Amino acid sequence: MKKISCELLAPAGSMESLKTALYFGADAVYCGGPLLQLRAEATGFTFDELKEAVEYTHSLGKKIYVTVNSFATDEEIEALGEYSKKLYEMGVDAVIVSDLGAVAEIREKCPALPVHISTQANTQNFRTIKVFKDMGVERVVLGREMTLEAIENMKDKLPEGMEIEVFVHGAMCMAYSGRCLLSSFLSNRSGNRGECSQPCRWNYYLVEEKRQNMFIPVEQENNATAILSSTDLKSISFLDRLENAGVSSFKIEGRMKSPYYVATVVNAYRHFMDGTATLEQCDEELECASHRPYAAGFYFGEAKVNPNNDGLYRQTCSFIGIVLEDLGDNMYLVEQRNRFAKGETLEILSPSSIGESFEVTEIYGKHSELKEVANLVQEKVKIYCPKKLCKGDILRRRITQE
């Protein structure tokens, strides 16, 4: 299998997710800081956390980008000068920006800090990219509404040295380039300020004015009721075409996702890009993390109504634990994240292998006592595993066993 050499860019909503993404093969990560980061505050890093994140990422020879991609007010524009200088001084490799004024302010106040244009700017033509290039921008994340053919046709019109990034996996918004007011209207939480409550994924009913207690499901085709909910994007089968079209960075969505989700998706794309696993194997891996029905987004034309999109999340595996230490003699210290028991079969999620599993034959507790089950929250237990495990590997279990 041909190796795909584009950058694999992963989300980091927390320090744990950041370290997980890098361990499982991401070339770079993106995270939010204290200002304009377009995600709920829970996923924003403080300055101290950002400094630690930058140092850790660079110690592995990888890159870290900080999102500054909310649309800014006057007060926020005025704060961007000092903010961008702080990010540059701590070694951030680039900022991801959508607001045109924010781009100008950062380029003026801290010209040495590389700027990438966010997908929220909805860039879909070479002329806009040239304008950004003239402003000193180094990379543009294309609007998610672009087709693969349009990206291919744009390749020869791009300014020299301009990098192109696209989203290849994760949740998609039902609004144009994410510019949705539904959350603002229904829950007073603006998606354009990083506070989306995701009302497009709620279930809705039709109620007649004089029959308030009669709830009629709003249905599309084949009894699907998720009328506002989009599918999840999956592009692993045509990464080679994206690379040939001039894309230099593949971006995975998910700063609000769990470390287990990040590990699963990054691992699948890394193995496929490196040619160490087949498409069939990686497709099966991508089913292991929680997701809505997969589709190719707009890459092959206008997005169509998916009759199989019931709006429900599904996954084939559950997160069981993280390997903390190799104790020797095939014994490993594991931090439990979900209950597991002796006799169960667990699968290994690891950068060094794919699709391996083993039966749990021995579990030892805190005082080296034999246990039949590990069922305490984040309990640290020792287990025997005949396979080689490494610190950072993840253990999971097929949901069919549960």
Under DSSP, the state recorded for 396 is: E
Half-sphere exposure of 323 (CA within 13 A, CB side): 27
Residue 102 belongs to a domain: yes
pLDDT tens digits along 211-243: 878 877 666 555 545 566 678 999 999 999 999
For residue 122, what are its two tokens? 């909805």
At residue 45, the 3 state secondary structure works out as: coil
Residue 90 belongs to a domain: yes
Residue 117 belongs to a domain: yes
- DSSP states of 111-154: TTS-EEE-GGG---SHHHHHHHHHTT--EEE--TT--HHHHHHH
pLDDT tens digits along 19-35: 999 999 999 999 999 88
Whole-prediction pTM = 0.91
CATH number assigned to the domain comprising residue 93: 3.20.20.380
Question: Does one domain contain both 389 and 290?
Answer: no
Residue 301 belongs to a domain: no
Per the structure, how many domains does the chain have? 2
Q: Which residues 6+ apart lie within 8 Å of 156 measured at CB?
A: none
pLDDT of residue 207: 82
Question: Does one domain contain both 336 and 257?
Answer: no
Residue 19 belongs to a domain: yes
Give, in order, the Cα–Cα distances in Å from 238 to each of 273, 279, 300, 379: 11, 10, 11, 41
Question: Does one domain contain both 165 and 122?
Answer: yes
User: Which structural domain, as residue segments, surrounds residue 327?
Assistant: 317-401
pLDDT of residue 177: 66
Residue 306 belongs to a domain: no
Question: Does one domain contain both 58 and 132?
Answer: yes
Q: What is the largest CA-CA distance in the chain?
A: 72
Residue 204 belongs to a domain: no
Question: Does one domain contain both 46 and 159?
Answer: yes
pLDDT of residue 17: 97
Question: Does one domain contain both 338 and 284?
Answer: no
State the CB neighbour count (10 A cutoff) for residue 4: 17
Question: Does one domain contain both 44 and 123?
Answer: yes
Question: Does one domain contain both 289 and 234?
Answer: yes
pLDDT of residue 185: 74
Strands (E) in 158-237, as ranges, are: 163-171, 205-206, 216-217, 232-234
Low-confidence ranges of the chain (pLDDT < 50): 224
From the list 245, 268, 98, 65, the residue with the least C-alpha distance to 166 is: 245
Question: Does one domain contain both 237 and 373?
Answer: no
Question: Does one domain contain both 257 and 365?
Answer: no
- DSSP states of 256-325: TS-HHHHHHHHHHHHHHHHTSS-HHHHHHHHTSS-BPPEE-TTTTSS----TT--S--B-SEEEEEEEEE
CB-based contact 125:151 (threshold 8 Å): no
Out of 242, 263, 295, a domain closes at 295
CATH number assigned to the domain comprising residue 381: 2.40.30.10
Scan for tokens 């694999």, then name that residue: 8
Dihedral class, residue 148 (left if φ above 0, else alpha if ψ from -120 to 50, else beta): alpha
Question: Does one domain contain both 324 and 268?
Answer: no
CB-based contact 56:19 (threshold 8 Å): yes
CB-based contact 390:352 (threshold 8 Å): yes
Residue 222 belongs to a domain: no
Question: Does one domain contain both 287 and 322?
Answer: no
* Percent helix / strand / coil, the chain, rounded to 5: 30, 25, 45
